[in-house]
Amino acid sequence: MSDTSREQRIHELDATLRVGKNGIEPVVDELNTQLEDRQFVKVKFLRSARGGTTTEELADEMAEQVNASVVRVRGHTAVFER
């Protein structure tokens, strides 16, 4: 897949997971499941989830737990790939 079409696919993704005030733990299993079925998964981090951390830190922690890579972090949204 060319870089242009890959970037286009990532850009057009809708966020299928939202991380809220309960943190990342409740959504880690669902992220793992979605990564089994899809190449990319976009996750939105709500303000209540971030607390004193950054979106990048939370995304890196989630990626480590599901053995995935963070493809992109923009604003409060991260895209994961396995």
| Alpha-carbon torsion angle 9, 1, 27, 65, nearest 10 | -150
pLDDT of residue 3: 79
Q: Does the reported pTM lie above 0.75?
A: yes
Calpha distance 60→46 (Å, rounded):
16
Buried b (16+ CB within 10 A) or exposed e, 62-80: bbeebebebbebeebbbbb
Q: What pLDDT sits at residue 36?
A: 96
| pLDDT above 70 as % of the chain | 99
pLDDT the model gives residue 1 = 66
Is residue 65 predicted with pLDDT exceeding 70?
yes
Contact 10, 46 (CB under 8 A): no
**CA–CA distance, 36 with 82 (Å, rounded to integer):** 8
